[in-house]
Structure 1
Amino acid sequence: MTQQSFTFEQIHIEVARNASDDFNLFHDKHKWLQITHNPFKGPIVLGFQLNTLIEYQMRLYREAQHEDQIIAEKQLRFSNYQITFVNALRPRQEMALNIKKTLINTIPELTLTNRVAMKSQGKTILLGYKKETKSPLFLADVDLSGLPDLNGIADKTVVPGTDFFLKRKWMNNGNVKNFLSGSFAEQSDYFDELTHVAHYPEVYPCSLTSGALLEKAQLENHDFKRNPMVYTSHDISVDRVHLARVKNNDKLHILVKQLPESKDNTLNQTSIMLRTYECFGLLEDGTILYRIKLNLVPLEEILRNLRGKAA
C-alpha cells in the first residue's frame, strides 16, 4: 500500500474550476455563502479534481510497479474509475490518499484492480477502485450508432429523436495543464512543447461533463442556491486508444441523459432517491472517448436524513 498527503489551497480550486468551466456555487470562494443551509462552511474541492489526483498517483504507481507494461502488452485499453463520495474536502484540510496493492484477476477477463481511499481529519472523503480492462466497465451496452451527425446539431439542445442533451466543447492545452496543476499532477509528464509531446490525461475531458450538467440545469431554470445538488458517485470508463489521438482544439460532443428517479435507486441505506445521469464524450467522428454514470442527490435531502438520525 502507498500513502501520500496533500493539502489543497483555494487557488487550486480556482484554477480547476476555471479550466473546466465549472460554475457550481459550492466551489466559489464568495458564492458558497449563497447556498441555502450549506453545511460545508466554505468552498470545496471539485470531484473531478480529486479523480485527477487519483489518476496521476495511479500513473506513478503503475510505472513504479511496471504495470504499465502489462497494460500495453495485454491491450487493456479502458481505464475505469469507480468512486463513491462520502464527505467534502475543503481548502487547507490535509488529506491522505491510500492506494492498495494491485489485484490481478483473469475471470471474466484480465483486470488490474486497486482500491483507493481519501481521508481527512479522521473522516473518509471518498472510496473507490481504479481498474484496467479490455472493455468498458460502465455503460458498455449503450448503442449510440443510431445518433445523427452531432456536428450538425445546435449546442445546448436535445439531440432529435433522443433524450440526450448536447453540450459542445473544444480541447485546449492550456486549460488541461491548469487542471493538472490544480490537481497536484505534474503537467510536464503530459506536455512538452520543445519535444512536441502532448498526451491528454484521462479525467480532464470527463471533467467537462460537470459544466454540461450545470448548463442543462440552468436551461431548466434550476435554482442552484435553494436546491443545490451534490455528487454521490462517479463511474467512469475512458478509452485510452481514442484518448491518444486527442489534441489541442479538438471538438468534444458531451451527451447527458437523466434517468427517471426510482425508489429502487436510492442512496445507501436511505430512502433518498438518486438522480442518475448517463453521460458520454464523443469525438468529432463519433467515436466514444468516455462513458460516465453519475449519481447526484439534493443537498437538502441529505441534511434532512441526517437531522432525522440525530433526532
Structure 2
Amino acid sequence: MNPPPFIFDQIHIEVARNASDDFNLFHDKHKWLQITHNPFKGPIVLGFQLNTLIEYQMRLYREAHHEDKVIAENRLRFSNYQMTFINAVRPRMPIYLEIKKTLINTIPHLTLTNRIAMKSDGKTVLLGYKKETPSPLFLAETPLDNLPDLNEIPDRTIVPDTDYFLKRKYMNNGSVKNFLSGSLAEQSDYFDELAQVAHYPEIFPCSLASGALLEKAQLENHDFKLNPMVYTSHEISVDRVYLGYLRNNDSLHILVKQLPESSENTLNHTHIRLRTYHCYGLLENNEVLFRMTMNLVPLKEILKNLGQK
C-alpha cells in the first residue's frame, strides 16, 4: 500500500516564508503576478520547506530503523544534504517522497547514505541524497578561524578584509515551530515547553540564508520583478553538536560570498551560467553551525533555453 501524498496549502507557504523572512516574490500569493514571464501560474513552495520535509521524514526513517543510535555511537556529527530542484511545487499539488534504503560505507570512515526522490504527477520534483558523516562534506576547507568578532560588525555590511556579506539573525522558538508546521513536520517532536525541551531542526537556520541573499541583492538594486532568480541546488552540511547549543534569542551570523560567474560553472552542461553563493552560519563565538552552497540561475535564461529545444 502506497503512503498518502504530502500536500502543501497556500497557508503553509505563508507561514514558512514569514517565519524565515523570505520575501521572494515567487512565494507571495499576490506578487507572483508581478514576475515577468512567470511560468509557474501561482505561488510556489519554498525550497527550504521541501528540505525540511525531507529532514523530518529522514528523522522518522532513522528512528524506525534504529539508525539514530548508529549515528550517536559512531559520532557522525555532520548531517549533509545535496538537493537538486527540477520542478516547482505548487499549493494543492500531491507530492510523493521516496527514501531509498540506507547504504552503509566503512571506508575511509563510517557513512550512512540515502538517496532521495520527490515526485508529483509522475514527474520528478527533486533529487538528492542525505548523508551522515564524521566531518562536513561541503566547504570543509574554508578557513573561518581568522574572522574578527562578528558581534562587533554592523548588520548587512561587508566583513572587513573579506568578501563576506554579513546578515545577523536571532533565533526565535515561535518562528522555528511555525517553519516546521509550514513544512509538514511535527513541531512537538522538537519542542515541549512543559518538559523544557527545545531541539532546533537542522534546516531552519540554513533557511535564513535565503533572506540574506535577498537582502544582499536588494542593497545591490537587483530587480526582482524583471530578473527573478530560481534555485537549482543546495549543498548543506550541518554540525549537530553546535545545533544542540541553539537556544531562543541566540544570534546567528550568516556570511554570504558570491563567486564570480564562469563558463566552467553552468547548469547541466548548458550555456546557462550558475550564480553560486557560499554561505556559512556562525554562532556567537564563531563556531560554524552550517556550511552551504546555493546555486541560482536567472529564470529568463531557463525559459530561453527551453524555447530553443
The TM tier, using the shorter chain, reads over 0.9
Tell me if 1:124 matches 2:124.
Answer: yes
Once the two structures are superposed, residues 95-128 of structure 1 have per-residue CA deviations (whole angstroms, 9 ceiling, x without a partner) of: 0000000000112221100000111112111000
5+ residue gaps, structure 1: none
- Tell me the SS of whatever aligns to 1:6: coil
Change (3 A) 1:123 1:261: same
Q: Could you list the runs of 4 or more consecutive aligned residues of structure 1 that deviate by over 4 angstroms after TM superposition?
A: none
**Cα distance, 1:4 vs. partner?**
5.1
- Tell me the SS of whatever aligns to 2:185: coil
Count of aligned positions: 308
Contact 1:156 1:167 in 2 (8 A): yes
Tell me if 1:225 matches 2:216.
Answer: no
Q: Percent identity?
A: 77
Separation (CA, whole Å) in 2 of partners of 1:64 and 1:35? 43
Counterpart for residue 199 of structure 1: 199
Residues 14-93 of structure 1 mapped to structure 2, 5 A cutoff = 14-93=14-93
Contact 1:3 1:98 in 2 (8 A): no
Once the two structures are superposed, residues 248-307 of structure 1 have per-residue CA deviations (whole angstroms, 9 ceiling, x without a partner) of: 000000000000111111000311010000000000111000000010000000000000
Residues 177-216 of structure 1 mapped to structure 2, 5 A cutoff = 177-216=177-216
Counterpart for residue 282 of structure 2: 282
Separation (CA, whole Å) in 1 of partners of 2:210 and 2:165? 13
Separation (CA, whole Å) in 1 of partners of 2:3 and 2:253? 36
- Tell me the SS of whatever aligns to 1:195: coil
**Cα distance, 1:194 vs. partner?**
0.3
Tell me if 1:167 matches 2:147.
Answer: no
Counterpart for residue 106 of structure 1: 106
Counterpart for residue 263 of structure 1: 263
Separation (CA, whole Å) in 2 of partners of 1:177 and 1:119? 26
Separation (CA, whole Å) in 2 of partners of 1:284 and 1:4? 42
5+ residue gaps, structure 2: none
What letter is aligned with 1:293? T
- Tell me the SS of whatever aligns to 2:5: strand
Separation (CA, whole Å) in 2 of partners of 1:4 and 1:109? 36
- The TM-score with structure 2 as length reference comes to 0.99
Counterpart for residue 245 of structure 2: 245
Once the two structures are superposed, residues 206-253 of structure 1 have per-residue CA deviations (whole angstroms, 9 ceiling, x without a partner) of: 000000000000000000000000000000000000000100000000
Once the two structures are superposed, residues 60-113 of structure 1 have per-residue CA deviations (whole angstroms, 9 ceiling, x without a partner) of: 000000000000000000000000000000000000000000000112221100
